Amino acid sequence: MDTQVIGHRTPRVDGENKLTGRADYTTDWYVDNMLHGYPVPASISHGTLEALDIEPVLAMPGVVAVYHHGNFPKLYRSPSSQAHQDQVSEVRLPFEDERIHYDGQYVAMVVAERYEQARAAAHALQARYHQDSGARPGLLETREDGRPLESEGGLRGDPDSAYERAPVKIDHVYAIAPESHMQMEMHATLAQWRDDRLIVHESTQGVVYQHKAMARIFDMPEEKVEVISHYIGSGFGNKLFMWPHAVATAAAARELGRPVKTVLSRQQDMASGGNRPASRQRLRLAADEQGRLLSMRHDSTTETSFVHPYVDSVGTPTLNLYACDNAAISHHLLEVNHGTPCPMRAPGEVSGIYALECAMDELAIALDMDPLELRRRNYSYEDPTKGLPWSSKHLDTCYDSAARRFGWERRDPRVGSMREGDEILGWGMATSSWTAGRQPCMARVELRADGTVMAACGTQDIGTGTYTVVAQTVAELTGVPLDRVEVRLGESSLPAGPLSGGSMATATTLPAVAAAVRAAIDELKEVATDEDAPFTGADPDGLAFRDGALADEQGKRVAFDDLLSGQKLGSVSGDGQAAPGDEQNQYSFRSFGAHFVEVRWDPGISRLCVSRVVSSIDIGRAVNPVTARNQVEGAIVMGIGMGLFEKLDYDPRDARLINNNYSDYIVTSHADMPEIDVELLDNPDYAFNEFGARGVGEIGLTGIAPAIANAIYHATGKRIRDLPITIEKLMEP
Amino acid sequence: MRTFAYRTADDVTQAVTTHGADDQVAYVAGGTTLLDLVKLDVMRPTQLVDINRLPLGEVETLDDGRLRIGATVTNTELAHHPEVKARYPLLSQALLAGASTQLRNMATTAGNIMQRTRCPYYRDASAACNRREPGSGCDAMHGINRMHAVLGVSDQCIATHPSDMCIAMAAIGATLTLEGPDGKREIAFNDFHRLPGDQPEKEHELRPGELITYITLDTPIEGAGAYYLKLRDRASYEFALASAGALVSIQDGVIHEARLALGGVATKPWRSHEAEQALHNQPAAVSTFEMAAEAAMQDAVPHEHNAFKIPLARQAIVRALREACKDAENANEPR
């Protein structure tokens, strides 16, 4: 498809709003008569709340109410069904009972006239607990394995006997510490009841999901609930599904008859607003002497909380990343006394690919083979799980291009052999991958008499650039310039759109917007061929819409705004919808890429840094190469954090979260950022959708941590299988 | 809401009078530690006395060659001050290794000396902490103590002193001028911070109501090379796991005078006289540096998660000494 706007570098259409402060984030909303909520977190992780000393707090300045188990209104749990789009992050309602399951679980919420008053009262509220012994501190602090989950298993061939017979094999256990999303903008809710309607501003990745979940929980007709999220300061997955603070805030607003806004503190956000769960993964790989995989076995355990069974599906990449006839995955789930985990960027797969890609490196070493060559020898030309061809796979090009730009052919495979002064260079690589998904979606487009076009969809822009790609789609199909396209997102009353998650928003939303554009143009043609209209009597199908105007075959051309004005119409609109179709039975859809990483290791002072990352990623068509590249570069930076720094520290004695702030939980700083060279291949995947786009939010994160771990081995000879790879691990003999 | 009174003062006498001897009152300058801890409910002052208007914002070279730094000189101003860069490069390096630009723009010299530990149990008002609440116990002792001290610890407290700037001052040597309700006095920098011992809540030698007004650096060692090396989990905006500040002067390949101070590993800014003795009159060679490193860490006491700090500190010492010697040799080369 020859395009004018799609696939071209396009500055964010919402950039000016963000730079000038016009962008209305949830926290920015102040409404008349508004109160402030402040949750009171439990300071134990396992036990029972015995008493709350409410009276002194109620007497504090500005305090209006304190909600807790004793006085919280009766609500209903959401069924939390993905199919019905009412999924929540934690099915347990706030203050449902007096059991404490994790440090930071809300035991009460103070509501006061001012934020500072609510916070001070929350700090002052004295709670008495009965602390139970035997808090389970975390998966990696125990040998327990939890319960098996049959639904997460997978098997083809006979991996066990193939493993036994194979000449070369490895068998190792990898572990990843729990991580925090550390999104910039904290979870926040503003709830207002107007008559019998509930209006919620929330920083969410899914207005539609929250809208439906709120309706279930408050037992209301869906049309009486509106959820609004115009701008989101990122989420990385922890804002996909609603958390208890939103329920508590909406309930308080109803009880008090006044709007209530709750903004979590960073400490609360980290303790009770989601995390990537710890995982422990055993990888068994076997190959013949030529490096062809004979058997793959990936047995995983992840943790979840005692109040919500979140499963991080870490094993799936092992079933489809490489060609291998014998493969099996299994999954166990262990409940621990931590806040509930939830999806975090590339959920499951980034953890599984870490273990798999480290194991592949270890297998290459066992084979005395170049790790890139091992991957080439096991290239999958079709999806081994579905037996379907990949719709568009160019991983070989990614390997070639990234290896060439990195200079991989100059790699001396001997450990510690590449020295520069005090430093030793380590070079490692890994494959990157993320599944390509699409959801059903609806959209509406209006052509307006003032010459603008409005596109609306009930999805949201979490900072990734959805406003811009929707505007690009409209501009592409109408020829109307971007500055005359208005995009409305982030309201559940708009035509239902997807979650901003799973790298699905672009591929899901754009075809629906395109359908709506076409429907609006069809409507315009109807108007244009009416009596007393410019194209009276013409066959609508004979009219073409180009560069913002309708034209007939004789060359007569009328701009749509002139046409509408002439017909005394303010606008015409079209509704569109799109959904995955029969292509799902013909192809398997997945994106692939490759990361090459250089680390510098100074053994004299045990200092390690990532100095260079070269990546080639194939995501089909990058609708906006600027924001797409931004996603991959940001993911690389995040991956360095996963590899080297990030770990939620729970005290092993009582499962309390210790590093609950931006200072003690270490994310990558600017000074840690390497030279980054990202290439996005441009191979539109038209089997997937008409724009050929597969999505880009997650893929860049997958493969970074293992490429770092593999480079570290090359530099140091130390195979560190537990993330993050901190200094003390590098110092172990 | 936990309210507090806020007063400003225009001169030292007024500040000291306003403060009085009340230990519920706190001086505030940049506020980078204090306001953080107030928000965490760890510090609960009833009154703040803002000293930013006091005429303590100057850096001056005294007649005897020492450098006098006013209490409210910011970390940024001090790090980039021409006299500091030229004569006390160790101090400039240490300041720039600390915190972030934004924090250094706010943080002051005296405030940096007064900054509190980053021990997470100290900062969690619901945890046991002898430093915050005498007699309540120490959750760090058997908890997550990866960041904690191995030198100068007691069975009451193992919290690390977090400052980088103070490490340079410990090596350089300095005198603090204090003014309080009982008048003015001076104290050596290295006597100011206290070891936790059995009174970890007493962090320093300030008497009630006393204010640090000046920090006067000793005259620099002639011809000394300087190097501050900070080893930490990430490259910026992160406290040290181990840091070493070294000043070395060399004559004919032999170490004439050496100063070594350590950060990230001790309960106070840690001057290592043991290491200095091991360096004195020894050849400027790696074997000497290694002996000094051994000497510096010989009394270190590890806990469950921080044993790696002992070898890490040794590495920091060896490298900092090597680089300081290189710096000294470069400085001594005829130009």
Name, in order, each residue with C-beta under 8 angstroms of B334's C-beta and a sequence gap of 6 or more: none
- CB atoms A663 and B308 under 8 Å: no
Task: Check if the beta carbon of residue A342 is closer than 8 Å to that of residue A290.
Answer: no
Fold of the domain spanning B5-50: 3.30.43
With contact defined as beta carbons under 8 Å apart, do A431 and A321 qualify?
A: yes
Nearest CA in chain B to A123: B41
Tell me which of A727, A730, A732 to substitute to probe the interface with B (most B C-beta atoms closer than 10 Å): A727
A501's torsion region: left (phi>0), alpha (psi -120 to 50) or beta? beta
Cβ-nearest to B312 among A120, A645, A727? A727
The strand pair at A485-488 and A453-456 is best described as parallel
Asked if A654 and A592 count as a contact pair (C-beta separation under 8 A), the reply is no
Closest CA to A37 of A226, A263, A214: A263
Angle at the Cα of A705 from the Cα atoms of A702 and A706, rounded to 5 degrees: 90
Q: Kindly report, residue by residue over A20-31, the tens digit of the pLDDT.
A: 999 999 999 999
Please name the helix (run of DSSP H) or strand (run of DSSP E) that holds residue A171, with its range, or none.
strand A168-176
Q: Do A731 and B231 touch (CB under 8 A)?
A: no
Residues 6+ apart with CB under 8 A from A421: none
- At residue B211, does pLDDT exceed 90? yes
B311 interfaces chain A, CB cutoff of 8 Å: yes
CA distance A627 to A466: 9
Other beta carbons within 10 Å of B75: 26
Q: Which of A651, A659, A670 is opposite residue B236, by nearest beta carbon?
A: A670
Contacts of A554 (CB under 8 A, 6+ apart): none
Q: Are B241 and A730 in contact (CB under 8 A)?
A: no
- Please state, as a whole number, how many other Cβ atoms lie within 10 Å of the Cβ of residue A672: 21
**Can you tell me the mean pLDDT for A264-285?**
97
Asked if A43 and B126 come within 8 Å (Cβ–Cβ), the reply is yes
Q: Round to whole Å and give the CA distance between B119 and B127.
A: 11
Q: pLDDT class for B326, splitting at 50, 70, 90?
A: very high
Closest to B322 (Cα-Cα) out of A730, A716, A602: A602
Average pLDDT, chain A: 97
Q: What is the pLDDT of residues A154-184, one digit of tens each?
A: 999 999 999 999 999 999 999 999 999 999 9
* Cβ within 8 Å of residue B127, ≥6 positions away: A656, B120, B121, B139
* pLDDT tens track for B93-152: 999 999 999 999 999 999 999 999 999 999 998 899 999 999 999 999 999 999 999 999
What chain B residue is nearest to A646 in terms of C-alpha separation?
A: B233
Nearest-angstrom CA–CA distance, A316 and A324: 14
> Between vectors from CA A336 to CA A334 and to CA A341, what angle results, nearest 5°?
85
Q: Average pLDDT, stretch A315-338?
A: 97
- In the residue annotation, A698 being an active-site residue is answered as yes
Beta-carbon separation of B312 and A649 below 8 A: no
Residues in A closer than 8 angstroms to B120, CB to CB, are 658-659, 664
Contact A669 B237 (CB under 8 A): yes
Question: Are B234 and A671 a contacting pair at CB < 8 A?
Answer: yes
DSSP string across A77-125: -----TTTT--BS--SPTTSSSEE-STT-EEEEEEESSHHHHHHHHHH-
* Main-chain dihedrals φ then ψ at residue A578, nearest 5 degrees: -150, 150
Q: Which two tokens stand for residue B57?
A: 């914002």
- CATH fold label, A279-437+585-731: Aldehyde Oxidoreductase; domain 4 (3.30.365)
SS3 annotation, A257-270: CCCEEEECCHHHHH
- pLDDT, tens digit (0-9, with 9 covering 90-100), for A39-75: 999 999 999 999 999 999 999 999 999 999 999 999 9
Q: Find the closest chain B residue to A650 by CA distance.
A: B144
CB contact (8 A) between residue B238 and residue A669: yes
Q: Least CB-CB distance to A671: which of B1, B231, B236?
A: B236
- Nearest-neighbour CA in chain B from A678: distance (Å): 23
The answer to whether residue B76 scores a pLDDT higher than 90 is yes
How many angstroms separate the CA atoms of B117 and B130, rounded? Answer: 13
* Catalytic residue from among A679, A698, A728, A732: A698
Confidence of residue A467 (pLDDT cuts 50, 70, 90): very high
For residue A656, which residues of chain B lie inside 8 Å, CB to CB? Answer: 127
Check pLDDT > 50 for residue B204.
yes
The ipTM is 0.97
Using only the alpha carbons of chain B, give its radius of gyration. Answer: 20
Beta strands A63-68 and A106-112 are: antiparallel
Give pLDDT, residue A466: 98
Indicate the Cα dihedral angle A265, A267, A271, A273, nearest 10°.
30
Whether the link from the prior residue into A724 is cis, omega within 30° of 0, is yes
pLDDT of residue B314: 98
Report how far residue B200's alpha carbon sits from residue B157's, in angstroms, rounded to the nearest whole number. 6
Average pLDDT over residues A4-32: 96
Q: Do A727 and B241 count as a contact with CB atoms less than 8 A apart?
A: yes
pLDDT of A366 over the 90 cut? yes
Q: List, in order, residues 6 or more apart from B251 with CB less than 8 Å away.
A: none
Burial B213-232 (b: 16+ CB within 10 A, else e): bbbbbbebbeebbbbbbbbb
User: CATH class for domain A438-579?
Assistant: alpha beta
Q: Name the percent of chain A lying above pLDDT 70.
A: 100
Q: CB contact, 8 Å: B278 with chain A?
A: no
Per-residue pLDDT of A471-487, as tens digits, reads 999 999 999 999 999 99
B139, B142, B234, B289: best mutation site toward chain A, by most A Cβ within 10 Å? B234
Q: Which of B125, B236, B311 sits opposite A669 (nearest CB)?
A: B236
- The answer to whether domain A279-437+585-731 and domain A438-579 are alike in fold is yes
The two tokens of residue A189 are: 């809710």
**Total residues belonging to chain A:** 733
- Contact present, B71 and B59 (Cβ < 8 Å): no
What band does B41 get if pLDDT is binned at 50, 70 and 90? confident
Q: What is the 3-state secondary structure (H, E, C) of B250-317?
A: EECCEEEEEEEEEECCECCCEECHHHHHHHCCCECCHHHHHHHHHHHHCCCCCCCCCCCHHHHHHHHH
* Residue of A720, A712, A709, A714 whose CA lies nearest to A416: A714
Q: Which residue has the tokens 């997102």?
A: A489
For residue A177, what is the DSSP state?
A: -
Give which of A349, A362, A342 is closest to A321, Cα–Cα. A349
Place of tokens 């090379």: B225
Phi, psi (degrees; rounded to nearest 5) at B116: -95, 165
Which residue carries 């990430």 as its tokens? B234
Tokens 């996963």 found at: A642
**Interface contact flag, B41 A123, Cβ < 8 Å:** yes
Please list, in sequence order, all residues whose beta carbon lies within 8 angstroms of the beta carbon of residue B239, skipping any fewer than 6 positions away: B118, B147, B160, B162, B232, B264
Burial code (b: 16+ CB inside 10 Å, e: under 16) for A393-418 equals bbbebbbbbbbeebebeebeeeeeeb
* Contacting B residues, span 34-73, partner chain A, CB-CB under 8 Å: 41
The pLDDT assigned to B334 comes to: 57
Q: In the predicted model, what is the mean pLDDT of chain B? A: 96
- Give percent helix, percent strand, percent coil of chain B, each to the nearest 5: 30, 25, 45
**Above 70 in pLDDT, residue A490?**
yes
Distance from CA of A55 to the nearest CA of B (A): 15
Contact state of B308 with A727 under an 8 Å Cβ cutoff: yes
Nearest Cα to Cα of residue B166 among B102, B240, B224: B240
Question: Is there a contact between B234 and A649 if contact means CB atoms under 8 Å apart?
Answer: no
Does the pLDDT value for residue B335 go beyond 50?
Answer: no
Where in chain B are all domains bearing CATH 3.30.390.50? 225-332
Q: What is the mean pLDDT of residues A28-41?
A: 97
- Asked if pLDDT for residue B24 goes beyond 70, the answer is yes
**Residue A319 is which amino acid?**
L
DSSP string, A299-349: EEEEEE-SS-------SHHHHHSS--S-EEEEEEEEE-SSPPP---SSTTH
Residue B96 identity: L
Show residues of chain B in contact with A120, CB under 8 Å.
Answer: 1-2
Is A632 exposed, middle or buried (CB count within 10 Å of its CB: 0-12, 13-18, 19+)?
buried
Which helix (H) or strand (E) covers residue B135, if one does? none
Chain A residues touching B236 at Cβ < 8 A: 669-672
CA nearest B316 in A: which residue? A605
Averaged pLDDT, A287-307:
98
Domain boundaries, chain A: 31-133+184-233+239-272, 279-437+585-731, 438-579
Q: Class of the B225-332 domain?
A: alpha beta
Q: Which helix (H) or strand (E) holds A20?
A: helix A15-20
Least CB–CB distance from A605: residue in B126, B305, B319: B319
Q: Where do the CATH 3.30.43.10 domains begin and end in chain B?
A: 5-50
Asked if residues A724 and A177 have their Cβ atoms less than 8 Å apart, the reply is yes
A669: closest CA of chain B, how far (Å): 6
Residue B2's pLDDT band (boundaries 50, 70, 90)? confident
CA pair distance A193, A209, nearest whole angstrom: 19
Find out whether A253 and A224 touch, Cβ atoms under 8 Å.
no
Name the band, by pLDDT with cuts 50, 70 and 90, for residue B1: low
For chains A and B, what is the number of CB pairs under 8 angstroms?
Answer: 81
- To the nearest whole Å, the CA of A343 is away from the closest chain B CA by 26
CATH code linked to domain A31-133+184-233+239-272: 3.90.1170.50
